[in-house]
Chain A
Amino acid sequence: MKTESLWSIFINASLINNFVLAYFLGICPFLGVSGKMETATKMGAAVTFVMIISSMCAYGLHALLEAINAPFLQLISYIVVIAATVQLVEMFIKKMSPALFRALGIFLPLITTNCAILGLALFQTNKGYGFGESFVYALGAGTGFTLALILMAGLREQLEFSEVPKVVKGTVITLLVAGILSLSFMGFSGLSS
């Protein structure tokens, strides 16, 4: 682990093992908020922010739990930190931009149950990343999530104008598009050396 450079951690988290398309984390907002480009971008930014904060907190918490020898509290303490961070972001957005607050709607509090964020905290603990590595890993994961969301939003905006059979309309066609997107992201696996 020590030899892994920060740059390769970033590329790994954002492209090669994209959280949405390779690990299937954060599928709910991926399918739910990817209807419009604008909301997708802002959702991505909000998730990235929560990811970075909670990943930093998770690093500290892990060290603390190690010190008091209570690993069984890991899951519970992580989820509480994430919920608190989301609450903070929600209050911030509500104050700064009520329009965005309305556009994100129910999906904003649902960031708490976004598996990508808890997944990130668990993965970085499993991999034994240090402080700097955790930060870069969170940044990469957030970028990858935003990228997938934006790509999907672009595709779905085009889909609006195309004629699809009635039976595949809605979720089915979205899943098929996501599958093809996931296939194309596999091309990045050549980047790892």
Chain B
Amino acid sequence: MNKSLHKHESKGFFASLAENPSTDEFIKGLWKDNPVFVQVIGMCPVLAVTNTAENALAMGLATAVVLVMSNFLVSSLRNFIPKQVRIASYILIIATFVTIIDYAIQAISVDLHKSLGAFISLIVVNCLILSRAEAFASKNSVGKSVLDGLGMGLGFVFALLCLGSLRELLGNGSIFGFAVFPDSFQEWIVMILPAGGFFTLAIWLLFFNVLKAKKEVK
């Protein structure tokens, strides 16, 4: 068991997965077509609730769950929904799941529900979910759509975590509430403020642009 795992790693974990076409749908959302860093969609929650890593994780997971469920339902109903009213139907499907998630989060943790505020309801208008429903789930089989939703959702969680932890680290000196820096650390208050959201996203995008540029030179 251990040996085979090791073999996988030496080959490059992602490369070995990508050879299998069915996992391709899953992988593309994580890295190549990452919804936040590459496609730059679904920006509102990305900037608004990433002031701490915990909020970012909760928001990302909620969005991912809605995305997977709506992809599943949209693709299983894709032959029944008339073309003219498809967008309206998708929005209704998404709104239903968001309402479920909203009540679920309220049941799990009232504090979390308070700190995320209206942004849970605003998952309805997250362009990422609607765009996956329209561009992918309405044209592909149920299995593929669920994989696509899972990949995109996890890619979204990953991006939110990147932003949330950087903002919390610099703005509050902690990650997930655990202090990282000594008390003498001067917090960069600006990172928690709205402006910090724009700056942090710009920094991450810049980072990925530089990576891409380096790759092209090679």
User: Which A residues contact B (CB, under 8 angstroms)?
Assistant: 21-28, 31, 72, 75-76, 79-80, 83, 109-110, 112-115, 118-119, 122-123, 126, 166-168, 171-173, 175-176, 178-180, 182-183, 186
A186 to B92, CA, bound (A): 37
Residues of B within 8 A of A180 (CB): 195
For the complex of A and B, 6 pairs with smallest distance between CB atoms: A179-B198, A175-B202, A24-B48, A27-B43, A182-B195, A24-B47
**Least Cβ distance of B56 to chain A in Å?**
13
Given A24-B44, A118-B124, A113:B202 Cβ within 8 A: no
Residue B125 contacts which of A31, A113, A123, A182 (CB distance < 8 angstroms)? Answer: A113
Judge whether A122 and B195 touch: CB under 8 Å: no
Interface centre among A72, A166, A167, A186 (most CB of B within 10 A): A167
Of B8-16, B143-151, B206-214, the segment with at least 4 beta carbons within 8 Å of chain A is: B206-214
B53 at the interface (CB under 8 A from A): no
Residues of B within 8 A of A122 (CB): 118, 121-122
Judge whether B202 and A176 touch: CB under 8 Å: yes
A47 to B209, CA, bound (A): 33
A175 to B198, CA, bound (A): 5
Given A80-B92, A176-B198, A167:B206 Cβ within 8 A: yes
A interface: dominant SS: helix
Residues of A within 8 A of B194 (CB): 21-24, 182, 186
Residues of A within 8 A of B122 (CB): 25, 115, 118-119, 122
Residue B43 contacts which of A31, A75, A176 (CB distance < 8 angstroms)? Answer: A31
B103 at the interface (CB under 8 A from A): yes
Judge whether B199 and A79 touch: CB under 8 Å: no
16 A-B contact pairs sorted by A residue (CB < 8 Å): A24-B44, A24-B47, A80-B92, A83-B87, A112-B91, A115-B122, A118-B122, A122-B122, A167-B209, A168-B209, A171-B40, A172-B202, A176-B202, A179-B196, A179-B199, A183-B190
**Least Cβ distance of B114 to chain A in Å?**
11
